[in-house]
Each structure stands twice: as C-alpha cells, then as structure tokens.
Amino acid sequence: MKARIFCLMILFCTQIQAKVFNLKNDFWSWGSLFDKSSTQQYHLGIQYKPTVSLNIIQKETYEIDCEIITDLSYQYIKNDSTHFEEKDTEIYRGWIRYSGSQFEARFGLQKINFGPAQLLRSLKWFDTIDPRDPQEETQGVRAGLFRYYFLNNTNIWLWGIYAEDELKGLESFTSKDNNFEFGGRVQYPFEFCEAALTYHHRKLEVNNTFEDRFAFDARWDFEIGLWIEAVAAKYSETEFTPNWEKYLTLGADYTISIGNGIHILGEYFVYSKSESDLFESSYKTESSAVSFSYPIGLFDNISTILTYSWESEDWYRFVSYQRSYNYLSIYLNLSWNPEVNNFDPEQVSADGKSGQLMVGYSF
C-alpha cells in the first residue's frame, strides 16, 4: 500500500510541468557478526532509498519544491535459537516547501534537529541520530516548519507537529496520540558566540499531562570550540511524572596539527529529575564521551568514540575505518559494549563485541 502511494505521488508530481527533476539513488548493505557471548549471532541487511526532488515553481522572489524519499529494506537477524526476517517499504521523507531569499515554510514528513552538541545531545528532541551511524538515519516528524533568516544571521524557527503515540528523541513519556504540538527557536549571532533559546509544548498520553520544555544553547569559537546545551522540562501536576526533568551537555573540540590533523571532541552529559524544585534532584545520571578523527589520506579516515556511563561504570567503545570514492563508501565498524546496553537502547551498535561491514553506493 505504501509503495502504491509513493508511485502515485511520483506520478502526480511528474504531471506538474516541473522545471527541475532529480532522482538520487542510495544503496546500502551491511553485515554484522557478534561475539559468542551475545544472544545474536549475525545481522544482514540491504536497503534502497531513492530520493525524488522536484522544483515545481521557480520565480525571482520565491520557489516551490518538494522531496520524497522512500525506504525499501530487508533485514535478517540470527539469534541463538531462532531467526528474524523483516521486509519494509515506507515513506522515509515527504515534504513540500515554499521559500524565498530569507524564509522557508516546509510541510510534511521531515527531520527537525538543532543544537551544537554531537555525541551526547540534550537537544535531541525530535530525532534519534546516532553519531556512529554513517547514514544518520532517524524517523521524521509530520510537521510544519517555518524559518526566517535576518541579514545579520539571526534566525527564527516556528513549528507545529502532528503527534503520534511514540517516543521522540530523549522523551521519557509519549505524546497524546493524534494531537498537535508546537514550539519555536530564536538563534542570535553575538560577536564571539552564537546563542539560542528554544521552547516546545505538548500533551502527554499519561493522564492528559502537559509538558513545557525550555532550552538554552550556545557555541563559542576561540582557539578551541566550546558549547553548552541546557534543557528544563516542566510537567503539570501529576503523580505519574516528575515535576522537572533536566538535561545538560558541555562540549569542546580542537584539532591538533599532527600529520593531517587529529580532531578531538569531548562532551559531558547530565540528566536529572526532581519531584519538587527545579534546582533539586531526586535522580541523576552522568555520561562522558570523547571522539578522535584522523584523515589518513584523500580517501581514508579513521575515527573512534569512547563513552563512559558514570552511574553503571560501563565503557562503550566504537572504532570505524572509512574509505570513500566518488560514489562508493566502505565502512568497517568495531564495537565493544557491555552485554546489556543501558546507556541508549536505540544506538546502532549492539551489545557485547561486534564487527560490522557497511557498503554504500550513491548516484
């Protein structure tokens, strides 16, 4: 059914006398092997993601364009005692945009993300992007997004999201199904930094509770880069939710001029919640992460990410070797994580020790 809808959308769009039509093809395949102590033995997958882009109207002062991405995939997972197969065809992205020289309004299934953090993101509100995933895959949200850009690089975001009964990003509670959420963001460039204030309001499935989320983030670029993301989520009075949830990310990066340049990035993350006052905590967990990246040559790059959970005293290790050509990319990924991954259940890498070969071809 979804494949038929996709074909009908393409047929409809091609009937419009579009000035520009572009088709981009992305093929991915992967195979993962796991340590004998893991419940999984191996994981095989193949994926095809065609992207259709149409420039419907192009005038001097505005233009209208749209993009449709479909996801056709097959996965095979072998466990100790059984196996699991999954075939899937779905619309991955589908939006239409009206834009001018200083604004854009986009409607449909799209990705909305922001903030300077890269590894342990407090502003991971509407996506589940994993820094270890070269595809940067994440579920989109059905939303309307308006952005206006001033001449001094100040920009304003306004959004409305059609909520579903499922978690987004770092949410602890699902939204009320078939409800509308709304929010906005103001980003301002100062002389030595860029700072932003963000707000989001939604209704929860739990006892019709409301959540108001506030955030401040900023990035400074000196000899080293510095950034902060601070989030506070206030819940209406209920016995099923805390009064406050708080997230904090502090980060820095620097490139050491050795060889082709070693890029080092580190972040520190704190999550806490409170049953009463904003500045009190009834529960707190902390994590730290550092990544190293080194371009070996024109086509090769090696990177690693180390994450430590202070609460469970567990290490999460990831090393990736990448070789890229014009259309072809090859990744060899190695992971060494605890047997039970209580740090982030939606990460790409599995529990325990594993090796993964990924091949991507785009044209």
pLDDT of 1: 53
State the average pLDDT for the chain: 89
Q: Is residue 38 scored above 70 in pLDDT?
A: no
Q: Is residue 345 scored above 80 in pLDDT?
A: no
Q: Is residue 118 scored above 90 in pLDDT?
A: yes
Residue 279's region, left for phi above 0, alpha for psi from -120 to 50, else beta, is alpha
231-250: buried (b, 16+ CB within 10 Å) or exposed (e) per residue?
bbbebeeeeebbbbbbbbbb
What percentage of the chain carries pLDDT values higher than 70? 90
Q: Is residue 293 scored above 80 in pLDDT?
A: yes
The answer to whether the beta carbons of residues 216 and 188 sit under 8 Å apart is no
Span 13-36, pLDDT tens digits = 445 444 588 999 999 999 999 886
How confident is the model over 219-234, as a mean pLDDT? 96
Which one-letter amino acid corresponds to residue 40?
Answer: Q
Q: Is residue 4 scored above 70 in pLDDT?
A: no
pLDDT band at 338 (very low <50, low <70, confident <90, very high): confident
One-character DSSP codes across 81-96: S-EEEEEEEEEEEEEE
Span 123-140, pLDDT tens digits = 999 999 999 999 999 989
Domain(s) labelled CATH 2.40.160.10 in the chain stretch across 102-362
Q: How far apart are CA 183 and CA 198, in angstroms?
A: 8
Q: Using CB atoms within 10 Å of the CB of residue 257, give its burial: 0 to 12 exposed, 13 to 18 middle, 19+ buried.
A: exposed
pLDDT of 19: 56
How confident is the model over 170-177, as a mean pLDDT? 92
CATH 3.40.50.2300 fits 102-362, yes or no: no
Q: Is residue 348 scored above 50 in pLDDT?
A: no
Span 77-90, pLDDT tens digits = 887 767 778 888 99
Q: What is the pTM of this model?
A: 0.88
